[in-house]
């Protein structure tokens, strides 16, 4: 029975990776064709396109299955996996530190990821010691702070410099109707697959000794991060280090803002009912993001194949997953 569940997981994962990447691809093409990347709406639009697997899978786990740990784990796990892939990108680009070569815009994005995660971690810790945080229409006030900080960050980042170049994804002049039709079809398929993946995760939890948070963080987080991983490596192959790193940092910043959406779908504030595993995962992702920011602002170069910063992130991530496995 367990083997059949894993076969189902592999099949769903493969389909989700394929259709989610194509959804992301069509979203970028639409952005390029309409020039909406020049404004805040464009940045938000692309973030939604690349992070839609996380949105659907996390929301399905919370709303349909009432598994907050599974949904929250998917979001946090996606951010952790994205950061760990910086290690692979660093190796691929050759000698030297890749985080030393990024633009001011990407460095600012990394800072705001840490700020947003700091809000999440602070709210979780405050609620865990019994301090009451105001709730508006059933939603914790910290979630409004996360959303406001996100859009303020977009404004500041937009004013700090021009967006980096896009990697050309399509030379054909397709009609807008064709592009939008494909985008909506891929969107519908990704939604269905996201619901399926969340249900599979719930089955794995029920038939193994692994926790909801571990399944969500490692397995669901890994699968839903593949579109960002593929796009980042494609950007690096095309010679754009800024787009490769920026895609990861931008997706992470948006992923944090999925937490308020999950909170609205849950019966009570998610950050007020966190398990020890969820708290550990939150601390882990905050520490990894902080290491990334230190690396982004460090001016020290290296002649080695990989930088100390991405190596530390990858090592801490692996150790974190092992520890998370044993937390019940």
Instruction: Provide the residue range defining the domain that includes 53.
Output: 2-326
Residue 267 CB neighbours (<10 A): 10
CATH number at residue 200: 1.20.1420.30
Number of domains composing the chain:
1
- Predicted local distance difference test score (pLDDT) of residue 130: 79
Measure CA 153 to chain center: 17
The better pLDDT of the pair 161, 307 is held by 307
Question: In angstroms, rounded to a whole number, what is the distance separating the alpha carbons of residues 235 and 89?
Answer: 10
In the predicted model, what is the mean pLDDT of residues 228-244? 81
Joined together, the tokens standing for residue 121 give: 């971690």
Measured in whole angstroms, the distance separating CA 8 from the mean position of its chain's CA atoms is 23
Q: What is the pLDDT of residue 170?
A: 53
- Express each pLDDT in 187-212 by its tens digit: 889 889 999 999 999 999 888 888 99
3-class SS of residue 298:
coil
What is the spatial distance between Cα 158 and Cα 153, in angstroms, rounded to a whole number?
8
39 φ/ψ angles, rounded to the nearest 5 degrees:
-125, 175
Question: What distance in Å separates the CA atoms of residue 56 and residue 190, rounded to the nearest whole number?
Answer: 8
Residues across the chain: 328
CA 117, CA 114: separation in Å to the nearest integer?
5
């Amino acid at each position: 029975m367990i083997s059949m569940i894993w076969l189902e997981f592999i099949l769903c994962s493969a389909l989700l990776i394929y259709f989610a990447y194509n959804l992301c691809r069509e979203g970028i093409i639409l952005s390029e064709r309409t020039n909406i990347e020049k404004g805040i709406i464009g940045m938000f639009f692309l973030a939604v396109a690349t992070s839609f697997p996380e949105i659907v899978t996390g929301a399905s786990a919370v709303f349909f299955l009432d598994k907050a740990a599974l949904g929250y784990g998917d979001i946090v796990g996606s951010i952790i996996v994205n950061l760990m892939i910086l290690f692979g990108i660093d190796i691929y680009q050759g000698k030297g530190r890749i985080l030393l070569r990024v633009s001011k815009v990407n460095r600012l994005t990394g800072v705001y990821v840490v700020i947003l995660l700091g809000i999440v971690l602070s709210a979780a810790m405050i609620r865990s010691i019994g301090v009451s945080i105001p709730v508006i229409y059933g939603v914790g006030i910290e979630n409004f702070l996360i959303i406001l900080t996100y859009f303020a960050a977009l404004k500041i980042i937009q004013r700090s410099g021009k967006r980096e170049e896009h990697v050309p994804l399509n030379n054909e002049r397709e009609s807008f109707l064709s592009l939008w039709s494909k985008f909506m079809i891929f969107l519908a398929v990704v939604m269905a697959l996201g619901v399926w993946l969340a249900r599979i995760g719930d089955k794995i939890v029920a038939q193994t000794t692994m926790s909801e948070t571990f399944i969500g963080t490692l397995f669901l987080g890994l699968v839903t991060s593949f579109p960002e991983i593929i796009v980042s490596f494609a950007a690096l192959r095309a010679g754009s280090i800024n787009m490769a790193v920026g895609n990861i940092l931008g997706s992470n910043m948006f992923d944090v803002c999925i937490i308020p959406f999950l909170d609205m779908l849950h019966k009570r504030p998610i950050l007020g009912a966190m398990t020890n595993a969820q708290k550990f995962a939150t601390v882990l992702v905050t520490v990894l993001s902080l290491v990334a920011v230190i690396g982004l602002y460090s001016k020290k170069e290296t002649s080695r194949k990989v930088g100390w910063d991405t190596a530390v992130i990858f090592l801490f991530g692996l150790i974190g997953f092992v520890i998370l496995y044993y937390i019940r």
